[in-house]
Amino acid sequence: MSLERLVDQTRERFPHYDKSNVEILPLEKGGSDRSYYRVRFSTDHSLILVTYNPEKPENERFVAIAKFLNEIGVNAPFIYHHDHLQGLIWMQDLGEEDLWHYRNEPWGTRRRFYEAALDQIGLLHSSDPDSGKKLHLQSCFDESLYRWEQNYCLQNCFGLYFQLPATEIDKLRRHAAFDNLAKRLASYQRVLVHRDFQSQNIIVWNEQLYLIDFQGLRPGLRQYDLASLLFDPYVTFVHQEREHLFQYYFERNDHGCTLPEFERVYLDCGIQRLMQALGAYGVLGVLREKKEFLRHIRPAIKTLIEVASAAENFSFFAEFLTGLPDRPKPQDRLA
């Protein structure tokens, strides 16, 4: 749909702005297959217009989940209007400052925002898991999904990006530690999780934190969301900062286990989440030719080495990751 047609559609839904001089600006939004636009009516009034493929169920879920989050007290953008036939959503404009925007600020500033983000996700984790049934969420985190995430990394990062031989990748895939990891994580009690809880999916607006890109919400492990935020490849933490935020979440939420037990699952989820991220960077950077995602591979691997070294039975994986080349082969294809 052309920009002119999008403006016409907006005027039809918001007739009180019919006489306004409407400006529409495309926005870059990560690896999403949705398109985002800022529609500005004046210096003080604007909204965000999202266009999406109606044939993808995950896109349809966005509006229902946004309303659900607001109902349970989690900050999410307000939905003004939804045209599900054309795949159009008009929603609240929360500005452009995400949590990633503050990555170089002093720790005192960053800590306050990260604690607020953890407060928000804690509200989701403490909500009734059965309340998500009416939202027709994606399949819960189970053994097959954990194995899929692992293979997603093996195929698209180690295979597609690093061009490692198939025999080496198959050997890694068959290692019992990965199968045991998937079985172990699938055995724990699930809560509702964001699934992509990282710095670029958390907006700072009027000193409040808002969750976005939550269409992947589903039953899973709270430690997966925690690992997504604290092992975020887009942001650098020192050990003391990460440890503070980990303790902050643990002390403020009821999770029914001891600190050592909670940390073991957290590290296991860190391996899972970082493997999922590495697989995504391979797909986005190589197959979809969004080269900017390739620069996140090295930081993600560095963090994954740290996590695998601390997790039980994954020292072999840390050694494997340490031995990866600095640059993929062939270089001319991926540079």
pLDDT over 70 (residue 92)? yes
Among 152, 146, 194, which Cα is nearest to 169's? 152
Q: What is the pLDDT of residues 196-215, one digit of tens each?
A: 999 999 999 999 999 999 99
- Domain boundary among the residues 62, 92, 122 is at 92
**Same domain for 88 and 103?**
no
**Same domain for 204 and 289?**
yes
What pLDDT score does 328 carry? 75
**Same domain for 108 and 191?**
yes
**Same domain for 240 and 136?**
yes
Rg (CA), the chain: 21
Q: What is the CATH number of the domain that holds 161?
A: 3.90.1200.10
**Same domain for 132 and 78?**
no
**Same domain for 81 and 170?**
no
- Reported as type and span, the H/E element at residue 81 is strand 79-83
Q: How far apart are CA 313 and CA 77, in angstroms?
A: 42
Tokens representing 158 are 């180690």
Q: What is the DSSP letter of 13?
A: H
What pLDDT score does 22 carry? 87
**Same domain for 45 and 135?**
no
**Same domain for 190 and 247?**
yes
What pLDDT score does 53 carry? 85
pLDDT over 70 (residue 334)? no
- Reported as type and span, the H/E element at residue 208 is strand 208-211
Q: What is the CATH number of the domain that holds 56?
A: 3.30.200.20
**Same domain for 182 and 74?**
no
**Same domain for 291 and 242?**
yes
**Same domain for 35 and 159?**
no
Global confidence as pTM = 0.93
331 pLDDT band (50/70/90 cuts)?
very low
Percent above pLDDT 90 for the chain: 78
Domain count, the chain: 2
Task: Show the CA angle centred on residue 61, arms to residues 136 and 102, nearest 5°.
Answer: 125
- Domain boundary among the residues 41, 60, 92 is at 92
Q: What is the pLDDT of residues 255-298, one digit of tens each?
A: 889 999 999 999 999 999 999 999 999 999 999 999 999 999 99
What pLDDT score does 330 carry? 58
- Domain boundary among the residues 51, 67, 92 is at 92
- Reported as type and span, the H/E element at residue 116 is helix 107-125
pLDDT over 80 (residue 60)? no
3-state secondary structure (DSSP) of residue 40: strand
pLDDT over 80 (residue 20)? no
Domain, as residue range, for 46: 3-92
pLDDT over 90 (residue 136)? no
Average pLDDT across the chain, whole number: 93
**Same domain for 52 and 133?**
no
